[in-house]
C-alpha cells in the first residue's frame, strides 16, 4: 500500500525529515524561554547585590544547563531522525518517525520553561541570602531535575517510536495509533513540566526567606511536583497502549481517526491539570516557608486541591481508553 503515489522509502524519509525539523523547532521554544527568564532574574539579582555576582552567575549557569537538557534531548532525536538507516520503509514507519519528532518537540517545551523558573528564582534567592547559597543551589538542582521528568518521558517514547520495528504491522490504523502515541506524551508533558517548575521556583524563594524551614519546604515541593507529574504519567500510559497494542487491519477512516483522537485527547487533557497542580504546589510551598508550624495542614489542603484539579485529566484518560478499547 502506498500513499499519494510516493514510493515507501521516499515517504518514510520525508516523514523523518519533517519529524526532525519539528523535534528541534518545537524543542527549542521551552529551553530558550526558560533560560531567558533565568538570565533576566540573574541580572536583577546582581543589580541588588553586586558583591555576590560570582555566586549568582555560577548558579545561573548551572540552572540554565539543566533547563537546556530538554532541548538537547530534542537535538539528539532530530539528529537520529535525519541520519538513521531506514530498514523497513512504509506508511507505519513514516508515521512512527513523524510521531517521534512531534513527541520530543512538544515534550521539551514544558520542561525547558519550567526548569528556567527555579533557576531564575534561586539567583534572586542568593542575592537575598548569600550565606546559604549552597543550600539554595542544591534545592534548585533537585527542583529542576524533577522538572525534566516529562521531557525524559517524551524522549523514551520518541526513542521507542524511532526504533520500533513496524514491518509486520497493518499500515492502517497503526499509523494513526503511533501519531496518537507521540501526541499523548508530548502534549501532556507541557503542563507537567511547567507546573513542576512553578513549585520549584516558590521553594527556592521560600528557602531564602526562611532558611530554618528548608526541610519542610523541600519536602512539600517534592510532593507537589510528584502530583504535578501525574498527567504526564497518564500521557505515557496512553502512549504505551497505543504503541504496543496490535490493531486489526482496517482501512476505515473512523478506525484510524479514533486512535489519533485518543492520543490527542489525553495529550491536550493533561496540559491544564499539570499547570493547575503546579500552581497549587507553588501556593502551598510559599506558605509552608512562612508558616512551617502548619506544614501538615497546608500539605493536606494542597493534596485535596490537586486531586480535584486532577479530575479532568482522569476524564481525558477515560475517554482515551474508551476510544482505544470500546468504540
Task: Name the site residues for another protein (rule: CB under 8 A).
Answer: 172, 191, 195, 231, 251-254, 256-258, 260-280, 282-284, 286-288, 290-291, 294, 297-298, 301-302, 304-306, 308-313, 315-316, 318-320, 322-323, 326-327
Q: How far is the CB of 205 from another protein (least distance, A)?
A: 14
CA 196, CA 202: separation in Å to the nearest integer? Answer: 10
Peptide bond into 91 cis (omega under 30): no
Q: Measured from the CB atom, is 63 or 235 closer to another protein?
A: 235
Closest approach of another protein to the CB of residue 89, in Å = 19
- Residue 62 burial by CB count (10 A; 0-12/13-18/19+): exposed, middle or buried? middle
Nearer CB in complex with another protein: 50/250: 250
Nearest CB to another protein, comparing residues 11 and 24: 11
- Cβ proximity to another protein: between 130 and 272 the closer is 272
* Complex with another protein: residue 46 or 91, whichever CB lies closer: 91
Least Å from the CB of residue 191 to another protein: 7
CB of residue 77 vs another protein: minimum separation in angstroms?
24
Minimum CB distance to another protein smaller for 197 or for 263? 263
Least Å from the CB of residue 319 to another protein:
4
CA distance 324 to 227: 26
C-beta closer to another protein: residue 66 or 292:
292
d(CA 68, CA 224): 23
Cell numbers found for residue 64: 540554565
Residues in Cβ contact with 47 at an 8 Å cutoff, skipping those fewer than 6 apart: none
CB atoms within 10 A of CB 250: 12
Radius of gyration over alpha carbons of the chain, in Å?
A: 21
Distances (CA, A) of 304 to 277, 292, 299, 307: 10, 19, 9, 5
Assess contact for 182 and 99: CB atoms under 8 A: yes
**Least Å distance between CB 68 and another protein?**
27
Tell me the closest approach of the beta carbon of residue 92 to another protein, in angstroms: 14
C-alpha cell, 255: 478506525
Burial (CB count <10 Å: 0-12, 13-18, 19+), residue 326: exposed
Amino acid at each position: 500500500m502506498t500513499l499519494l503515489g510516493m514510493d515507501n522509502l521516499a515517504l518514510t524519509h520525508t516523514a523523518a525529515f519533517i519529524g526532525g525539523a519539528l523535534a528541534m523547532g518545537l524543542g527549542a521554544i521551552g529551553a530558550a524561554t526558560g533560560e531567558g527568564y533565568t538570565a533576566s532574574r540573574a541580572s536583577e539579582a546582581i543589580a541588588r547585590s553586586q558583591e555576590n555576582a560570582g555566586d549568582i552567575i555560577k548558579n545561573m549557569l548551572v540552572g540554565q544547563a539543566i533547563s537546556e537538557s530538554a532541548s538537547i534531548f530534542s537535538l539528539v532525536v532530530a539528529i537520529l531522525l535525519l541520519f538513521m538507516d531506514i530498514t523497513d520503509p512504509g506508511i507505519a514507519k513514516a508515521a512512527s518517525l513523524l510521531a517521534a519528532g512531534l513527541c520530543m518537540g512538544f515534550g521539551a517545551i514544558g520542561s525547558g520553561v519550567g526548569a528556567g523558573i527555579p533557576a531564575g528564582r534561586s539567583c534572586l534567592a542568593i542575592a537575598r541570602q548569600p550565606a546559604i547559597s549552597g543550600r539554595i543551589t542544591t534545592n534548585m538542582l533537585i527542583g529542576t531535575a524533577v522538572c525534566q521528568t516529562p521531557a525524559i518521558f517524551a524522549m523514551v517514547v520518541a526513542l521507542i517510536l524511532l526504533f520500533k520495528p513496524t514491518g509486520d504491522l497493518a499500515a492502517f490504523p497503526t499509523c494513526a495509533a503511533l501519531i496518537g502515541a507521540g501526541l499523548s506524551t508530548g502534549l501532556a508533558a507541557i503542563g507537567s513540566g511547567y507546573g513542576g517548575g512553578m513549585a520549584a521556583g516558590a521553594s527556592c524563594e521560600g528557602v531564602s526567606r526562611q532558611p530554618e524551614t528548608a526541610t519542610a519546604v523541600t519536602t512539600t515541593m517534592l510532593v507537589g511536583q510528584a502530583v504535578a507529574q501525574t498527567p504526564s504519567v497518564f500521557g505515557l500510559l496512553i502512549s504505551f497502549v497505543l504503541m504496543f497494542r496490535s490493531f486489526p487491519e482496517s482501512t476505515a477512516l473512523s478506525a484510524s481517526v479514533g486512535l489519533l483522537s485518543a492520543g490527542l485527547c489525553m495529550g491536550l487533557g493533561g496540559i491544564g491539570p499539570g499547570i493547575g497542580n503546579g500552581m497549587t504546589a507553588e501556593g502551598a510551598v510559599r506558605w509552608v516557608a512562612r508558616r512551617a508550624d502548619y506544614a501538615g495542614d497546608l500539605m493536606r489542603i494542597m493534596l485535596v486541591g490537586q486531586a480535584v484539579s486532577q479530575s479532568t485529566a482522569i476524564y481525558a484518560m477515560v475517554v482515551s481508553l474508551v476510544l482505544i478499547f470500546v468504540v
